[in-house]
Each structure stands twice: as structure tokens, then as C-alpha cells.
């Protein structure tokens, strides 16, 4: 047992508190010190006997969260107080009313938004999704709830090594699925990047280590290259006569891995491992002009890639982000990404929401950020009853790129990329969306499912006879449209349920059958309806279905057969399920006898990082930890995660299906060389194989039987050696 030095801990707590005061001195007003001190003392008292998984005093955590809020986002005293108290109500017997009395309604509302809901949840619901929805409901009143939650999540991710493996996977998956996209949407790019990298460290530890090692090995080389790249830029910018700063920064591990997978290349072939940022210190009225002047200097020295210019100065992103991005060809044939922005734009890019509001003072123009907040509020107002559906609708509005379209009068509308004319109609007004039958896009008639492009001018056509139907949900993508359609369908279904129920009750009365839960279950089963409500809707639309025999006899027949089946089960010998052969250990002990299936979405093989997920009705499914479906499931249903690991491999008697894709330059006999390596050299069975060639290039897709990731990696390396232009990657098996 580790001996605790209480005096040393007290000194360290006080030291951390003083550091918080030092970094917040510029944002504090007179009287703020007293409020912060009062919050610190209350938090210290509430958490006095609590320790984190690391063994450290729990109070370290709220102090760290408050520090992140000030240092990395730029929040003020109310946020410091709320961050210090964010776990007090949940983890102690101090009630919310005490917080309200001592610190006022603003702090109390923030704490309420950050406090998890306690109680029993329906199995079909998700505690994680319910708590996230509860937190977001405060968004309409105070966005600081979300900002402090992000600070809380960032500190938890920084100290995640002390959690159990199950806890690490749950929290890391949640972070990738929700919190990193949320940080992105709020303009907190530094926090978003760190969250992604830290999550990757636990969902794909091997890939994380590989890329981190390679980045460290090439750091000195990159630094020298950046110095030589910016030297001629500095000479020209000095002549321009403006204040500026040039920064070079490496790409994040997560973004490098994403690029490797998207472009199907190795680490060495990712051309823009770093970006150069040029920040000009300009007044708001001339900052655009100065940024474009810098752009002209950059492109006069280095040749730009015409397809890589991104102008977010003229049309800022929905989260308020403004910058000019271009990619230029630097020395020795290397592509370099350049970001050009003003000091104001840079602060908004780094600190997001807080900086946005600070710069907004005196500016009455509605920004993209305000429009996004309004869109989120609409989702909250029209959210589905199911918290997971709500979460999915909300997530659609986080990472989506935008499309700029115009109304017939020339007003600009921003919508998520891939929005349809129906999304546009609902964005105008709920009634317009509900009555929409088509549209004119650039004066041409198009259907309601037409996907809009940048610059389109859209005129909606409506009809009083039109009403929403379920098929609309297949092509709308905005939360507002989905919410309003679901609400309309729910209202229509409620009316149909009432109509159908009246018909069913009347029919049961005529047949002299009591309306019991058991009888209704049998009726739904007989008429192939999934639920009682669905049966009522069916009856309202089609009338009560006919039967070959009286309804009373139908119900009694089901009951008699059920009774006979129970009797047979009572007399039959007990069935013993034999343990499945295999090398996967489920749960904490290798002695546990649990059946499982491999998820078809990611087809795990020995050597993959895997996790078990307890499904409803289908037993345990084994996913790769980086599987998108697994990340979504762990984010919504973390309590259903079960530990899974390979006991040892390769196991040559057991074979697993794995897919690979081969691309390269077509040449005679190439397919034969590939199949020889697979069948003759490594003696691997092929389940399926297909090759296609076009304009001198080929693509091959193969499904193979392998015994482990090591076996598969060996095969991939051998195929790559056939030809210098061949690229091979693992793909999911369909």
C-alpha cells in the first residue's frame, strides 16, 4: 500500500490553485477572487475523501478543468467557478439549490447541465445518449455548459491511462464519435486535434505508436525544411510593411492516419505532414485585403495547386472559422499547405466560441456560428423521443461541410453539404417543407430529393394536398427537416392509433374476446404486426383483417400450442451448450463460457484490437476497436461493452476471412504473379477474387482465409514486392 504524504498533497493543491489564479488574472473583475476562492473551498470540502483512479486527490481534476477553460478557451470567472464545482452535486450530498443560493442562477444552470441524470433507464435507451441530450438542452441558455464539458473530457483523456481497458475504449470511442466533432463545430481546433489523437492512442494503439515514432524520427528534417521554405517568404513580407508572424506546425497523428487511409498511401507518401500559418496583425477593415496581398506574395514565390484554394474569408465556415488555405509546391518537390489569416481570425480559430463573442460586440451581423446555434436549438425543440436517434440527428450537424445556395430574392442560405431541395424547404419554414412537392433550381424543375450545389438558386413549389411521408427521411439530412418530418409522422400515427384502437375494441367485443395483453400479443403475432400500435395503424388504414375461423378460436389455438411446447420442454433432457472452439477470450477470465459471433461489418481476425458488444437478442458481437459501428455503439451503449482479447496466435487450424485491395499499373501476367504468391508461396485459400483494368491501371479485390494479422501483413508485404507501383491495403469483407 502506498503511503500518502498529506502535507505534501495540501501544498500541491494550494500550488495548483495559485497557478489557476495567476493564469486568470487578466480576465478577473473586482470581487471575482472571492467567488473563485469560495468555489474552490466548497469543491475541496465536497471531494475531500475522494481520489482519482491514479491515486491522486480528486480536487486536482476540477482545478485542471478550470485551467483548461481559461488557458485554452479564454473563458471567464463564471466558467472558472462552474468548472471547480462541476462534479460537486453529482459526487456529494451538496444539492443544486445550495449552489444556486451561494453562486447565483447562471452557475447553478451550468452545473445542472453538467450533472448526469441518475435513475433506471429502459434497455432500449442509452444512458450515455440520455445524459448527452440532457447536457445539450442547456445549450439554448448557456453554451458554457458544452465548453466546460469539453474541458472536462480533455483532462479525462489526458489521464486515461489509469482507467481499465473497458473504460478506456468506452471513453475514447465517445470522444471520437461526439466530443471531437463538437469541438470542431465550436471552432476549438486545438482541443479537437488533441482529443482525436488521444482517442486514437486507445482505439488503435499500434497505429498511433507507429505514426508518432515516424514523426519523431523526421522532426529535425521537417524543421530544417520549414526554415528554408519560409526564408524567401519573410524577405518579401518584410517589404509589404505589415506586422506578421509565421508558424510551422506538424499535422496531427489522427489526420495523418485519416489521410493515409483516404488516399491509400503509406506514411512516407503523405505529402503535407505539416502546415505553415501566416498571421497578419491588421485592423478589421483592411484584414481581408492584407490576407489576399500575402496570398499573392506566397503564390509569386511558390506555384499553387489550383484545386487546393479554400476561401473561408469571403464565406466563413458555419462555426465562424475564417482563413485562406492554399497548397503550394515547395523546394525538392514537396507540397506544403499554407494558412493565411489575421490575428482576429487566428484567435477565433484557436479559441472558438469565446473569441467569437468577444469580437462580435458592436457587430450586429448574424454570423454562421449564430445560424448553427439556431439550427441546434431547432433540433433540440424537435428532438425524437429516442435519445440515440436524437444523438444521430445532432451529430449530422457537427462535421458536415456546407453548401451556399440562394433564395429567389437573392438571400444567401447555408446548409450542410448534400442537402436536398426538401432540406432547403424546411429551412425556409416548416409549412413550406411539409407542403413541398418539388422545386425550381436555376429555373429547372427538380424533385424534392434533388441534391443542391454551391451557387444554386432555389424556388420551392408547394401544394395544399401534400403532407410528409416516411420516405422523406431517406434523403433529408438536416436535423430540422428530420425533426419536423418525424414530428408530423408521429402526430399522424397517433391519430391512426386512436382510430384503429376503436375498431379493434369493437371487434373484440363482438367476438366476446377480452382485451388483455396476452390476447393482443397473439393477435399481433397472427397478423404479422410488430407491435400493438402498429396493428392499430394497420387496422385504421386497411380495416380489421379477415380470418378463416372465429377470432376466439384463433387465440385459443395459439394458447394450446404454447402449452404443449412447455410440456415437451419440461420432459426433455437438459441441453448442454458446448464451448466454441477458438482463441478469443471474452470477459475477464479464460474460463468463462460465452458464445460470440464476429461482426460482419469489420471481420476481425487474430491480432486485431477487438472489443465485445452485448447486443439485444443476438448475443455477443466481436468488433475491431476502430470499426465505425463499434465506435458508435460504444458511444451510445458503453455499459454493454465486454472485454475481448486473443489468447495467442497464429492458430493455423482456425481460418478467418480478410479482404485486401490491390491497385497498380497493369502489366501482362500480373494477376498470375499475385495468385502465385497467395496460393503457392503462402498457401492461402482464396474465397473470392476479381480484377478490373482501365486506361492502364488495375484494381483487384480479394477475400482470403488467414489465421492472424501477422499472416495477413506478411502476405501484403510479399504482394508489394511483385512490382514497385503496386499498393495493397486491407479492406472490410462484404
Question: What is the domain extent for residue 605?
Answer: 584-646
Please report the pLDDT score of residue 575 as a whole number: 39
Q: For residue 330, tell me if it sits in a domain.
A: yes
CA-based nearest residue to 299, from 270, 273, 278 = 278
Last residue of a domain, one of 646, 664, 688: 646
pLDDT > 80? residue 455: yes
- Alpha-carbon span 698 to 695, nearest angstrom: 8
- Alpha-carbon span 601 to 594, nearest angstrom: 21
3-class SS at 629? helix
DSSP 8-state symbol, 57: B
pLDDT > 80? residue 580: no
CATH number of the structural domain spanning residue 684: 3.30.70.260
Give mean pLDDT, residues 107-117.
Answer: 81
Of residues 291 and 611, more confidence is placed in 291
Same structural domain, 310 and 161: no
Of residues 468 and 347, more confidence is placed in 468
Highest mean pLDDT among 375-379, 418-422, 701-705: 418-422
Catalytic residues: 90-91
Residue 120's pLDDT band, with cuts at 50, 70 and 90, is very low
Asked if residues 148 and 139 have their Cβ atoms less than 8 Å apart, the reply is no
Of residues 72 and 412, more confidence is placed in 72
Same structural domain, 511 and 555: yes
pLDDT > 90? residue 44: yes
Q: For residue 421, tell me if it sits in a domain.
A: no
CATH number of the structural domain spanning residue 298: 3.30.460.10
Residue 130's pLDDT band, with cuts at 50, 70 and 90, is low
- Alpha-carbon span 704 to 682, nearest angstrom: 11
Last residue of a domain, one of 123, 157, 189: 189
Residue 574's pLDDT band, with cuts at 50, 70 and 90, is very low
Same structural domain, 637 and 661: no
User: How far is CA 534 from each of CA 493, 501, 538, rounded to the nearest angstrom?
Assistant: 9, 10, 6
- Alpha-carbon span 266 to 271, nearest angstrom: 10
Give mean pLDDT, residues 618-629.
Answer: 82
Task: Output the nine-digit C-alpha cell for 261.
Answer: 487511409
Same structural domain, 279 and 313: yes
Same structural domain, 660 and 638: no
3-class SS at 133? helix
Q: Nearest 5°: phi and psi at 359?
A: -80, -20
pLDDT digits over 422-446, tens only? 999 998 999 999 999 999 998 899 9
Please report the pLDDT score of residue 37 as a whole number: 94
Q: For residue 375, tell me if it sits in a domain.
A: no
Same structural domain, 591 and 501: no
Same structural domain, 33 and 166: yes
Q: For residue 70, tell me if it sits in a domain.
A: yes
Chain-centre distance for alpha carbon 399: 8
Same structural domain, 126 and 273: no
Q: At what angle do helices 77-85 and 144-158 cross, to 10 degrees?
A: 50
| Total structural domains within the chain | 5
- Alpha-carbon span 127 to 635, nearest angstrom: 10
pLDDT > 90? residue 260: no
Please report the pLDDT score of residue 591 as a whole number: 46
pLDDT > 50? residue 578: no
Same structural domain, 33 and 145: yes
- Alpha-carbon span 695 to 52, nearest angstrom: 61
Asked if residues 67 and 19 have their Cβ atoms less than 8 Å apart, the reply is yes
Asked if residues 405 and 454 have their Cβ atoms less than 8 Å apart, the reply is yes
Task: Output the nine-digit C-alpha cell for 237.
Answer: 513580407
DSSP 8-state symbol, 241: T
pLDDT digits over 399-411, tens only? 557 788 888 888 8
User: How far is CA 118 from each of CA 49, 91, 134, rounded to the nearest angstrom?
Assistant: 22, 12, 11
Last residue of a domain, one of 570, 595, 615: 570
Of residues 365 and 522, more confidence is placed in 522
Give mean pLDDT, residues 12-36.
Answer: 90
CA-based nearest residue to 346, from 337, 357, 358, 355 = 355
pLDDT digits over 155-193, tens only? 999 999 988 888 888 889 888 888 888 888 777 888 999
Same structural domain, 141 and 277: no
Give mean pLDDT, residues 548-552.
Answer: 83
Same structural domain, 155 and 27: yes
- Alpha-carbon span 523 to 547, nearest angstrom: 11
pTM of the full structure: 0.64
Q: For residue 459, tell me if it sits in a domain.
A: no
Q: For residue 615, tell me if it sits in a domain.
A: yes
CATH number of the structural domain spanning residue 61: 1.10.3210.10
pLDDT digits over 275-290, tens only? 899 999 998 889 999 9
Q: For residue 479, tell me if it sits in a domain.
A: no
Asked if residues 87 and 62 have their Cβ atoms less than 8 Å apart, the reply is yes
3-class SS at 284? coil
Burial of 354-371, coded b for 16+ CB within 10 Å and e otherwise, reads bbbeebbeeeeeebbbee
Alpha helix ranges (H) inside 529-600: 532-542, 551-571
Q: For residue 297, tell me if it sits in a domain.
A: yes
Residue 103's pLDDT band, with cuts at 50, 70 and 90, is very high
- Alpha-carbon span 80 to 62, nearest angstrom: 9
Same structural domain, 322 and 302: yes
Residue 57's pLDDT band, with cuts at 50, 70 and 90, is very high
pLDDT > 60? residue 476: yes
DSSP letter string, 582-622? SSEEESS-TT----EEE-TTT---TTS-EEEEE-SSS-EEE
Amino acid at each position: 500500500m502506498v503511503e500518502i504524504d498529506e502535507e505534501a498533497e495540501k501544498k500541491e493543491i494550494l500550488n495548483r490553485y495559485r497557478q489557476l489564479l495567476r493564469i486568470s488574472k487578466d480576465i478577473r473583475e473586482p470581487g471575482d477572487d472571492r467567488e473563485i476562492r469560495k468555489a474552490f473551498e466548497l469543491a475541496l470540502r465536497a471531494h475531500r475523501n475522494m481520489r482519482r483512479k491514479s491515486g491522486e486527490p480528486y480536487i486536482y481534476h476540477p482545478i485542471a478543468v478550470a485551467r483548461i477553460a481559461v488557458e485554452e478557451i479564454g473563458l471567464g470567472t463564471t466558467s472558472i467557478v462552474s468548472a471547480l464545482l462541476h462534479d460537486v452535486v453529482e459526487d456529494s450530498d451538496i444539492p443544486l439549490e445550495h449552489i444556486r443560493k451561494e453562486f447565483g442562477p447562471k452557475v447553478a444552470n451550468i452545473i445542472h447541465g453538467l450533472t448526469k441524470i441518475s435513475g433506471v433507464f429502459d434497455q432500449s435507451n442509452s444512458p450515455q445518449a440520455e445524459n448527452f441530450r440532457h447536457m445539450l438542452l442547456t445549450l439554448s441558455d448557456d453554451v458554457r455548459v458544452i465548453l466546460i464539458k469539453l474541458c472536462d473530457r480533455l483532462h479525462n483523456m489526458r489521464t486515461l491511462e489509469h482507467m481499465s481497458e473497458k473504460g478506456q475504449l468506452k471513453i475514447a470511442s465517445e470522444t471520437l464519435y461526439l466530443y471531437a466533432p463538437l469541438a470542431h463545430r465550436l471552432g476549438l481546433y486545438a482541443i479537437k486535434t488533441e482529443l482525436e489523437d488521444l482517442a486514437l492512442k486507445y482505439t488503435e494503439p499500434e497505429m498511433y505508436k507507429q505514426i508518432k515514432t515516424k514523426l519523431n524520427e523526421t522532426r529535425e528534417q521537417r524543421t530544417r525544411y520549414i526554415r528554408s521554405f519560409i526564408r524567401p517568404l519573410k524577405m518579401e513580407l518584410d517589404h509589404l510593411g505589415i506586422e506578421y508572424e509565421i508558424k510551422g506546425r506538424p499535422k496531427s497523428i489522427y489526420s495523418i492516419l485519416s489521410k493515409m487511409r483516404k488516399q491509400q498511401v503509406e506514411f512516407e507518401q503523405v505529402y503535407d505532414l505539416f502546415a505553415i500559418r501566416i498571421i497578419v496583425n491588421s485592423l478589421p477593415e483592411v484584414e481581408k485585403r492584407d490576407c489576399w496581398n500575402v496570398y499573392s506574395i506566397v503564390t509569386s514565390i511558390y506555384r499553387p495547386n489550383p484545386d487546393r484554394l479554400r476561401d473561408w474569408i469571403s464565406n466563413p465556415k458555419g462555426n465562424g472559422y475564417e482563413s485562406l488555405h492554399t497548397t503550394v509546391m515547395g523546394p525538392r518537390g514537396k507540397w506544403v499547405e499554407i494558412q493565411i489569416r489575421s490575428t482576429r481570425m487566428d484567435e477565433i480559430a484557436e479559441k472558438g466560441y469565446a473569441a467569437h463573442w468577444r469580437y462580435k460586440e458592436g457587430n450586429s451581423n448574424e454570423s454562421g456560428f449564430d445560424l448553427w446555434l439556431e439550427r441546434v436549438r431547432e433540433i433540440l425543440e424537435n428532438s425524437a423521443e429516442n435519445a440515440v436517434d436524437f444523438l444521430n440527428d445532432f451529430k449530422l450537424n457537427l462535421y458536415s461541410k456546407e453548401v451556399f445556395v440562394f433564395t429567389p430574392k437573392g438571400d444567401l442560405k447555408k446548409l450542410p453539404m448534400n442537402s436536398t431541395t426538401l432540406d432547403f424547404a424546411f429551412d425556409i419554414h416548416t409549412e413550406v417543407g411539409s407542403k413541398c412537392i418539388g422545386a425550381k433550381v436555376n429555373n429547372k424543375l427538380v424533385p424534392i430529393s434533388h441534391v443542391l450545389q454551391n451557387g444554386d438558386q432555389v424556388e420551392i413549389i408547394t401544394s395544399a394536398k401534400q403532407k410528409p411521408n416516411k420516405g422523406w427521411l431517406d434523403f433529408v439530412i438536416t436535423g430540422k427537416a428530420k425533426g419536423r418530418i418525424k414530428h408530423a409522422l408521429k402526430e399522424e400515427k397517433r391519430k391512426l392509433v386512436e382510430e384503429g384502437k376503436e375498431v379493434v375494441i369493437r371487434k373484440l367485443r363482438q367476438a366476446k374476446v377480452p382485451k388483455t395483453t396476452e390476447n393482443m400479443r397473439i393477435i399481433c403475432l397472427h397478423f404479422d404486426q410488430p407491435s400493438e400500435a402498429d396493428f392499430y395503424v394497420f387496422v385504421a388504414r386497411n380495416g380489421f383483417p379477415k380470418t378463416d375461423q372465429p377470432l376466439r378460436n384463433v387465440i385459443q389455438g395459439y394458447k394450446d400450442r404454447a402449452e404443449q411446447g412447455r410440456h415437451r420442454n419440461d420432459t426433455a433432457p437438459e441441453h448442454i451448450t458446448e464451448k466454441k472452439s477458438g482463441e478469443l477470450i471474452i470477459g475477464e477470465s479464460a474460463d468463462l463460457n460465452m458464445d460470440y459471433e464476429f461482426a460482419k461489418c469489420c471481420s476481425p481476425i487474430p491480432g486485431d484490437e477487438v472489443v465485445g458488444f452485448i447486443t439485444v437478442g443476438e448475443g455477443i458481437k466481436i468488433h475491431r476497436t476502430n470499426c465505425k459501428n463499434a465506435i458508435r455503439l460504444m458511444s451510445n451503449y458503453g455499459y454493454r461493452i465486454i472485454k475481448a482479447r486473443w489468447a495467442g496466435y497464429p492458430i493455423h487450424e482456425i481460418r478467418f476471412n480478410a479482404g485486401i485491395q490491390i491497385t497498380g499499373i497493369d502489366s501482362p501476367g500480373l494477376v498470375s504473379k499475385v495468385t502465385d504468391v497467395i496460393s503457392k508461396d503462402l498457401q492461402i485459400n482464396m474465397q473470392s477474387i476479381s480484377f478490373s483494368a482501365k486506361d492502364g491501371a488495375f484494381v483487384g479485390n480479394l477475400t482470403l482465409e488467414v489465421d492472424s494479422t501477422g499472416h495477413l501483413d506478411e502476405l501484403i508485404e510479399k504482394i508489394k514486392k511483385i512490382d514497385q507501383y503496386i499498393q495493397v491495403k486491407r479492406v472490410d469483407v462484404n
